[in-house]
């Protein structure tokens, strides 16, 4: 199923904000994934939906030969700049997780952190992840769990935006062991681990500031609303995070699933 118009919009939306401010809050999950993959010299490494390159850079620091791909040119521009600032040689490509521009079995490691889960065609993504991973190679996908944590933010935003196109995959299904097994279980020997990457902040208002200025989907939604609706969204957002606020600030649990796989021989 093709969603070309949607993906063109997604490329603009995700690249419209300084996402690195948001990805700075994902360190716990990134460290979890990197620890399981143990990047090192000689590995051909692909980070799908790399965003601003938060997995790609530490893998390159460890000596891996790293390629990062993302649909959003704006994010790739930031990823390149941040890598150059560290003197890291990383290949960053603008491209589609549903149609990876790489040969079969061309990577030892294929990973994604809260990235390829947002591509609309889940089966196409799964097929591409399996295709480019060599037999015996490894896979790691960090995805938000359904019905909790980050899902609550998307649920809150839903009444303020048009309905999703028919047939689009629910990104949070990637946080389900059953869904990932159905998509990838024929190609990979899979195991699963749970994690929590909490959202912390000084206040609920400061979380709103972060998301409304630096998280592409929220920033784009805010810009699309008339002032009255925009204020209603702000109040709902702040109200959501006030339930996670204590005397020391916001601490919202954000459960995620880490799916780990070893590519079977074809």
Give domain limits for the chain.
4-147+168-198+255-263
Q: What is the pLDDT of residue 149?
A: 96
Domain range 4-147+168-198+255-263, CATH architecture: 3-Layer(aba) Sandwich (3.40)
Q: What is the pLDDT of residue 227?
A: 97
3-state secondary structure the chain: CCCHHHHHHHHHHHCCCCCHHHHHHHHHHHHHHHHHHCCCCCCEEEEECCCCCCCHHHHHHCCCEEEEEECCHHHHHHHHHHHHHCCCCCEEEECECCECCCCCCCEEEEEEECCHHHCCCHHHHHHHHHHHEEEEEEEEEEEECCCCCHHHHHHHHHHHCCCCCCCCCCHHHHHCHHHHHHHHCCCEEEEEEEEECCEEECCHHHHHHHHHHHCHHHHHHHHHCCHHHHHHHHHHHHHHHHCCEECCEEEECCEEEEEEEEECCC
Q: What would the pLDDT profile of 223-243 be if each residue is shown by its tens digit?
A: 999 999 999 999 999 999 999
Q: What would the pLDDT profile of 103-122 be if each residue is shown by its tens digit?
A: 999 999 999 999 999 999 99
Confidence of residue 2 (pLDDT cuts 50, 70, 90): low
Q: What is the pLDDT of residue 1?
A: 43
Q: What is the pLDDT of residue 128?
A: 98
Instruction: Give the burial class of 159: count Cβ atoms within 10 A of its Cβ; 0-12 exposed, 13-18 middle, 19 or more buried.
Output: exposed
Q: What is the pLDDT of residue 164?
A: 84
Q: pTM of the full predicted structure?
A: 0.95
Q: What is the pLDDT of residue 121?
A: 95
Mean pLDDT value of segment 52-64:
98
Q: What would the pLDDT profile of 158-171 be if each residue is shown by its tens digit?
A: 999 988 888 899 99
Mean pLDDT value of segment 67-75:
97
């Amino acid at each position: 199923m093709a969603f070309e118009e949607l993906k063109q919009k997604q490329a603009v939306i995700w690249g419209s904000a300084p996402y690195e401010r948001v990805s700075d809050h994902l360190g716990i999950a990134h460290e979890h994934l990197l620890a399981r993959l143990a990047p090192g010299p000689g590995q051909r490494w692909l980070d799908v939906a790399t965003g601003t390159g938060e997995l790609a850079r530490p893998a390159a620091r460890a000596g891996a030969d790293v390629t990062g791909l993302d649909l959003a040119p704006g994010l790739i521009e930031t990823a390149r700049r941040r890598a150059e600032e560290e003197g890291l040689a990383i290949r960053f490509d603008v491209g589609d997780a549903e149609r990876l521009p790489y040969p079969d079995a061309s990577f030892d490691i294929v990973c994604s952190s809260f990235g390829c889960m947002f591509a609309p065609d889940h089966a196409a993504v799964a097929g591409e992840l399996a295709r480019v991973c060599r037999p015996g190679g490894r896979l790691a996908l960090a995805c938000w769990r359904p019905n909790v944590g980050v899902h609550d933010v998307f649920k809150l935003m839903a009444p303020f935006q048009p309905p999703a196109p028919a047939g689009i995959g629910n990104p949070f299904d990637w946080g389900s062991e059953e869904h990932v097994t159905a998509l990838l279980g024929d190609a990979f020997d899979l195991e699963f681990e749970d994690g929590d990457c909490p959202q912390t902040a000084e206040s609920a208002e400061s979380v709103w500031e972060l998301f409304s200025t630096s998280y592409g989907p929220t920033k784009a939604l805010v810009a699309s609303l008339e002032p009255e609706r925009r204020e209603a969204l702000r109040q709902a957002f702040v109200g959501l995070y006030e339930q996670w606020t204590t005397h020391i600030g916001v601490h919202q649990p954000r459960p995620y699933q880490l799916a780990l796989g070893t590519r079977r021989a074809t």
